Amino acid sequence: MLKVMIVGCGGIAPAHIEGYLKFGELATITHLVDPNLERAHTLIAKYNLQNAIAQADYAEALPLVDAVSICTPPALHCGAVVDSLRNGCHVLVEKPMAPSLAECDQMIQAAQKHDRLLSVVVQSRFISDIRNVVEMVKSGAYGKNLYTRVHSSWYRGESYYDLAWRGRWEVEGGGSTQNQSIHHIDLLLWTKGMPTSIRSFMTNLNHHNSQEEDFSSSILRYEDGSIAELTSSLIDHSSPQSLTFQMEKAGIGIPFQAFASKARPNGFPIANEEMVAQVTADFQARPKLTSEKHEGQIRNFLLAINGEQPLLATAIDGRNCIELITGVYQSAIENKDVTFPITQGSDYYTSKWRVNAPHFFEKSRDIEAFEDTTITNNS
Ligand SMILES: NC(=O)c1ccc[n+]([C@@H]2O[C@H](COP(=O)([O-])OP(=O)(O)OC[C@H]3O[C@@H](n4cnc5c(N)ncnc54)[C@H](O)[C@@H]3O)[C@@H](O)[C@H]2O)c1
């Protein structure tokens, strides 16, 4: 039975607790850590965690546990991850992995040195319909992917940035691109790998208590000549989030959609209904996961620790997201194309660039916590 510690008892911690509770035959939660002890006690009571104790600091308990879920604000991820790995623990860390590539590399090196697993949360990979579309696109059955459109649209109200750790480049690390669109960016990278270059624009349209962007738009270019277009927005009331892969023979979307056209002799389109039926039948025939989202990723994490499955979401996947997002920021700030990889000599490899990042607005309100920590999404 693996002993698990949860570090950080705020908004996302319940998703981890519920995941571990689902697999009680594999793991038991023994420690909940938060400098605000009341939050740890509240979760212990809410989930009736009889084997768990609340602590203000993780250091003392690290030698006592086998695995750690890090659910703290992003700037604290690296220190807690490296300390956990050094103490022989396997680690599941929330997204974004860390605000800089330098920190990501430090975490990856610690995992290698201490021979422990390090997984970064990408719960969308553990949704059956998404996984199946990604596999269909990657299979090549519908020809080459020519163009992908990623519409990463979210809504967060003005007060979202009142939380003290949000809204500052040097604390949160970035705005909508880093913290919300990372989910869709991971799916894009999972499907197509890293692009060769990126060109981006960013601004803040309507979040006046944040230095950071609430909108970015990017064009990504790939070695095989294909293109992706990525829009990240925190001001969308209801437009659906989507990834649309335009292949040579068909278009396939997340959420699942199939489109296909064929050309008349003069080049104008007619619907290709047989192809739509083929794509739809392919999608429907694919298997479903038994556990989804955080629960699915936690199941894989635990089974990977026990050597029963490969780790399906790795630290390299988490790092790739940070490299792409760093490219968005560099391109938008310097108003030029950025080519990958971003190398160690660059100011953008570390957090140095954040000192000179544009402040779209200055922060004027900071609170330590909201009374209501419910996490909801509009789409
Ligand atoms: N995967 C997802 O869909 C998803 C959704 C929301 C948040 N997140 C991520 O989860 C992380 C936490 O976000 P949140 O919304 O839960 O934030 P939050 O502010 O609600 O909670 C963070 C908690 O960490 C605690 N904390 C601060 N310093 C600590 C320390 N040194 N040791 C232990 N605990 C400490 C705080 O007191 C707070 O209770 C972030 O990286 C965020 O991006 C992921």
Q: How many Å apart are CA 163 and CA 362, to the nearest integer?
A: 14
- pLDDT over 90, % of the chain: 95
Task: Provide the pLDDT confidence category of residue 373 given band limits of 50, 70 and 90.
Answer: confident
- Domain span at 202: 125-290+320-356
Q: Is residue 304 lining ligand 1, measured as CB closer than 6 Å?
A: no
* One domain, residues 119 and 12: yes
101-142 pLDDT, tens per residue? Answer: 999 999 999 999 999 999 999 999 999 999 999 999 999 999
Q: How many Å apart are CA 56 and CA 67, to the nearest integer?
A: 18
Nearest ligand 1 atom, CA 39 = 39
Nearest ligand 1 atom, CA 369 = 19
Q: Is residue 31 lining ligand 1, measured as CB closer than 6 Å?
A: no
Exposure string of 81-90, with b = 16+ CB inside 10 Å and e = fewer, is: bbbbbebebb
Q: Is residue 172 lining ligand 1, measured as CB closer than 6 Å?
A: no
CA of 95 to the centre of ligand 1 (A): 10
374 lies in a domain? no
* One domain, residues 168 and 181: yes
* One domain, residues 304 and 268: no
CA dihedral 183, 189, 191, 196 (to 10 degrees): 150
CA of 142 to the centre of ligand 1 (A): 41
Q: How many Å apart are CA 193 and CA 317, to the nearest integer?
A: 10
* One domain, residues 137 and 269: yes
Residue 55 is given by DSSP the state E
Q: Please, which residues have CB within 8 angstroms of residue 196's CB and are 6 or more apart in sequence?
A: 221, 222, 223, 339, 340
Question: Model-level pTM greater than 0.85?
Answer: yes
Q: Is residue 326 pLDDT above 60, yes or no? A: yes
Query: Token pair for residue 23?
Result: 């697999």
The burial of 287, by beta-carbon neighbours within 10 Å (0-12 exposed, 13-18 middle, 19 or more buried), is given as: exposed
361 lies in a domain? no
Q: How many Å apart are CA 331 and CA 371, to the nearest integer?
A: 38
Residue 166 CB-half CA count within 13 A: 24
The mean predicted confidence, pLDDT, of the chain is: 96
Mutation choice for ligand 1 from 72, 104, 186, CB with most ligand atoms inside 8 A? 72
Write the residue with the smallest CA distance to atom 21 of ligand 1. 10
CA of 187 to the centre of ligand 1 (A): 22
pLDDT score recorded for residue 378: 64
Task: Provide the pLDDT confidence category of residue 369 given band limits of 50, 70 and 90.
Answer: confident
* One domain, residues 191 and 258: yes
CA of 368 to the centre of ligand 1 (A): 12
327-345 pLDDT, tens per residue? Answer: 999 999 999 999 999 999 9
* One domain, residues 37 and 185: no
Whether the CB-CB separation of 83 and 61 falls below 8 Å is answered with no
Beta bridge partners of 5: 31, 68
273-317 pLDDT, tens per residue? Answer: 999 999 999 999 999 999 999 999 999 999 999 999 999 999 999
189-242 pLDDT, tens per residue? Answer: 999 999 999 999 999 999 999 999 999 999 999 999 999 999 999 999 977 899
CA of 213 to the centre of ligand 1 (A): 20
Please give the tally of structural domains in the chain.
2
367 lies in a domain? no
* One domain, residues 92 and 195: no
Q: How many Å apart are CA 33 and CA 44, to the nearest integer?
A: 11
Q: What is the CA radius of gyration of the chain?
A: 21
- pLDDT over 70, % of the chain: 99
Q: Is residue 81 lining ligand 1, measured as CB closer than 6 Å?
A: no
